[in-house]
Amino acid sequence: MSLFVLADLHLCKGNPEKTMSIFPGWQDYQERIEKNWLELIKEDDTVVLPGDISWGMSLAEAAPDFHFIDDLPGEKVIIKGNHDYWWTTMRKMEEFLASEGCSSIKILHNNHYKYDKYGICGTRGWVNMPGETQDEKVLKREVQRLETSIKSALADELEPIVFLHYPPIFATNFNYDILEILYRYKIKDCYYGHIHGRSAHDLCVKNTYDDINFHLIAGDYLQFIPEKIM
C-alpha cells in the first residue's frame, strides 16, 4: 500500500481539441499517464491528483475523463485546479460520480482522507503569480478551506500532509496567507502543481524552505510519472 501524487493531468477524452500535446514536453501525455500509472500503481495504492484534472466544462463533459481515471488501479483523491470548470458542490460531484459508477474517486473539499497515520489535506489555493489577478474573497475562502481540512485531520489524530494546486511560493512571489496556515500547523510537506515549462520549473521551490519541504508535482515536471510519497 503506497501513496502517490501527480497533478495537472489535463485530460481531454471528451474534448480532444483541448489536448495539451501541442505544447513542448506534452506529446502523447495521456498515453504516457496511462502507461506509467499501470506500471507503478496497484489496487491498494492511493493517488492524489491536485487539480487541472479534466478540460470538461461540465460534469457531463468531464465524464469520459472520470471513467479513464476510475478504470486505472488504486483509490484517487482529487482536488480542484484553476481549469477544472466542471467542479461544483460536493454533493453534486459525489452524486454524479456515483451515478457514473466511478467508485474509486474521492473528493478533497473541506475534509481529509486517512492514509496510515497521515491525513491527506488540501485545497486549490490561490494565485501569487505575476500578471494574475488577486481576488481577496477567493483567497480568504481558500485559506479557510485549507485550515478546515488540516483541522479535520488533526481531530482524528493524524499528521497532515498538504496538497495544493497553486504554489504557495513562486520565484519572488509569496502567498503569505496560505503560508501562514502551513506555519501555524507546522506542516512538514507541501505538494503543488500548476507550473508548466522548463524555465518556469526552474523558478519553483523544490526543497526545504522555512522548515517546510516543498514538492513540485506538475505533470510535465514529473514526466507524467506518478511520484511515490511513501
pLDDT tens track for 39-59: 999 999 999 999 999 999 999
- Provide the pLDDT for residue 89: 96
Amino acid 137: pLDDT: 86
- pLDDT for 149: 98
515549462: which residue's cell?
A: 197
Residue 144 has pLDDT above 70, yes or no: yes
The pLDDT tens digits of the residues spanning 65-87 come to 999 999 999 999 999 999 999 99
Which residue type is seen at 151? K
Sorting pLDDT into bands at 50, 70 and 90, what band is 133?
low
- Mean pLDDT for the stretch of residues 26-37: 98
Does domain 3-228 sit in CATH 3.60.21.10? yes
Distance CA 185, CA 224 (A): 31
* pLDDT, tens digit, 9 for 90 and up, residues 101-117: 999 999 999 999 999 99
What is the model's pLDDT at position 130? 57
**pLDDT at residue 136, as a whole number:** 81
Band (pLDDT 50/70/90 cuts) for residue 131 is: low
